[in-house]
Amino acid sequence: MQVQKVKYALWAADHLRAIKFYQQCFGAVLSFEMEVWSELTLCGSTLGIHGGGEGKRTWTGLSFQCDNIREGIEQVKENGGNLVREPEEEDGFIHLAFCYDTEGNEFMLTQKRPS
């Protein structure tokens, strides 16, 4: 067997709303779409969105590293997501924020610490 692609799947109560969130918030590109399953590509990765979810808050293990975490937090909020809790500064720098999307899927936003 040869692995051809790695996909990470999320459940969504409204899979079209979830697609819109990841497109507008992170610039993901829709690469495949069906009625209950769609795929987005982002930084060489594939994010699958499966309809039929319950919309409950669920930890996913996903992490998105960005260049400006404060701007990332604002984009999450502007696109219908939110914070699990306000991020804490360490030495005057925020490097980690726990967030959730429009469907309740929890993920991390991170920013590389300064050298």
User: 61-91: per-residue pLDDT in tens?
Assistant: 999 999 999 999 999 999 999 999 888 888 8
The tally of domains found in the chain comes to 1
Cross-strand partners of 47:
8, 40
Scanning the structure block, which residue is given the tokens 């919309």? 55
Determine, yes or no, domain membership for 1: no
CATH number of the domain bearing residue 25: 3.10.180.10
Determine, yes or no, domain membership for 43: yes
Task: Check residue 110 and give its pLDDT.
Answer: 93
Report the alpha-carbon distance of residue 107 to residue 58 in Å, rounded: 9
In the numeric block, which tokens belong to residue 28? 């993901």
Determine, yes or no, domain membership for 95: yes
The pLDDT tens digits of the residues spanning 4-18 come to 989 999 999 999 999
Determine, yes or no, domain membership for 115: no
22-45: burial string, b at 16+ Cβ within 10 Å, e else: beebbebeeeeeeeeebbbeeeee
